[in-house]
Amino acid sequence: MLVTLVSWLVGLAAAYLAVGLVFAVAFVTRGAGRVDPVAAHGTWGFRLAILPGCAALWPLLARRWARGERAPVERTPHRDAAGPAEGAP
Amino acid sequence: MGLEYRAVGWNRQKKLYDLTLAAAVAVYLAAFVGVGLALKPNATAETLLIRAFGTAAFALLHVILSIGPLCRLSPRFLPLLYNRRHLGVTMFFLGLAHAALSIVQFHLFGDVNPLVSVFTSNAHYGDVADFPFQPLGLAALVVLFLMAATSHDFWLHNLTAPTWKALHMGVYVAYGLLVMHVALGALQAERSPLYVVLVGAGLAWVLGLHLYAAGREAARDRAGVGPAAGEEVGDGFVDVCAVDEIPDARARVVCAAGERVAIYRYGGRLAAVSSVCQHQNGPLGEGRVIDGCITCPWHGYQYVPETGESPPPFTERVPTFPVRVRDGRVQLDPRPRPAGRPAGSCSVKGAP
């Protein structure tokens, strides 16, 4: 029973990471620059460095890439109290 | 966040930091294996390496967890903070080596998938004394992987600093899991009380240091607002302190609008900005004015005092606050202006 349950969970995690790895290769070569313009000119060392994180957090990046969204502006008590930054969309 | 992304933004300090780290890890591993072979000639190389990597990762985690509170207690420790992420990545790889060797030695040659075997070889999940310790270590390794994998500035920018920091608070979850992993694993196998004392001392050090630093910081927050703290003096401004209480090129930190505000004095003028650096939410109020810019003590990100904006071509910016001087006392409007809308500055003599 335990072996079956754990086997199923390990398989699920492996599938998640396999999809993530395929996505990550596409993202670091094409998508990163769309989501974050600074990344468009990133070195190959940089792309390799973010690849594991892209594989792990692929649903977040896939959604942002698909919707054409940019990185959000951080939220702090002062930014919330001040309202949108000048020039913000 | 800079003008382009590289794998590592190398400079002399980072190279020195990383060389020192690599040398320390190499010396520790060599010494552990050497002493281990001398004391236990029958121990296999695999066992010694598993323990060397595991203890190195655990010890390094204590160093990492100590850096934050030590920096809050004294700026002398700030150089350790500068490249702390490399410590974290190094610790992850040490833990990964420990886990990989352990799985090879204990789980690879059975009938069950090695990863499944980690969770099922000991199924006493309802027994506190015999609770499976290996899944705890693996869970900690997953948390440490997430942190190492998101350690690049790309993630800081794309997750935003508050979310990134919340994610990286997972280090405390990893630490808790690892303490239990060690207590239920290695400590059960060892007869010497020395190991119990070492793990207990490490836990007491980490907890004690965090509590002490938090207490000191809370006291500093209370003291920072001055005797007339929060007293409204007209036009929505509140009294903060006497002008002379702020040293040149330094800040007075007060709490307003739910967060710390840094009121900087520089070249006969005063300006106030949110004390939260956009890079890693570092304490801008504990920095200095260098080359006319407020400089974060953590990684050197800079902001023009009057505008709260990084000098071109950089694009970081923080909210600002109107500040004025009346009868030799600094007064602050605690309503922040949006980042990019300068609140301006005033003369220490009270003129605009």
Gap from A66 CA to chain B (nearest CA, Å): 15
CB contact under 8 A, B257 and A77: yes
**Predicted pLDDT at B229:** 54
Residue B227 above 50 pLDDT?
no
CB contact under 8 A, B115 and A36: no
Work out whether the CA dihedral B223, B225, B228, B230 comes out positive or negative.
negative
Residue A85 above 80 pLDDT?
no
Option in B4, B155, B158 nearest A42 (CB)? B4
Domain ranges of chain A: 2-68
List pLDDT tens digits, range B142-172.
Answer: 999 999 999 999 999 999 999 999 999 999 9
CB contact under 8 A, A46 and B152: yes
Mean pLDDT (whole number) for B3-13:
87
- Tell me what percent of the residues of chain A surpass a pLDDT of 70: 96
List pLDDT tens digits, range B183-205.
Answer: 999 999 888 899 999 999 999 99
Residues 97-136 of B with CB under 8 A from A: 112-113, 115-116, 119-120, 123
What 3-state DSSP class applies to B200?
Answer: helix
Contact B257, A78 (CB under 8 A): yes
Put residue B268 in one of left, alpha, beta given phi > 0 → left and psi -120 to 50 → alpha: left
3.30.565.10, 3.40.1030.10, 2.102.10.10, 3.20.20.10: CATH of B232-347: 2.102.10.10
CB contact under 8 A, A86 and B276: no
- Concatenating the DSSP letter of every residue in A65-77 gives HHHTPPPPPP--H
**Predicted pLDDT at A88:** 61
